[in-house]
Amino acid sequence: MIRRTINWGFETLDKYVVLRYLIAGGTAGVTDLIVLYVLNSVFGMHYLLSAVLAFIVAFVVSFTGHKFWTFKSHEEETRKQIVMYLGSTIFGLGLNTLLMYIFVDHFHMQVILSQIIVGFMVAGVSFFISRNLVFKYKPKEPTL
């Protein structure tokens, strides 16, 4: 029973790119939040610098997860994808930083809450860029 449930879970993940994207992106997002918290709250670093550094650490987690698991892009040239993904990530970083500034300094929201909201917004934009431009995902099964 347990083995069947586990197999069903892996088969489901294998079929649906959006689920894999959410898990890989969620892992990168949690990494981002942990690094942001440690840098800002534990070490007292300014929230914008903390957000930039956390975003960079999460980049490594994100690229690896999306290339090899989410979009299963093993055949494509990794260097080219890194450059393209870095470009889309820099765009996301700019968007992330701008939105963090607006949410924290103008809406007076808490830093961590702001990053959670902003993270979801940036993730939505990044999915379409990654799927269509960077990894050129071609689904074998229907996507969610």
Instruction: Provide the pLDDT for residue 19.
Output: 87
Tokens 């890194």 belong to residue: 82
Residue 142, pLDDT > 60, answer no
Is the Cβ–Cβ distance between 51 and 2 less than 8 Å? no
Which value, in Å, is the radius of gyration of the alpha carbons in the chain?
A: 17
In our burial notation (b when 16+ CB lie closer than 10 A, e otherwise), range 40-51 reads beeeebebeebb
Q: What is the pLDDT of residues 1-22, one digit of tens each?
A: 777 777 666 666 667 888 888 8
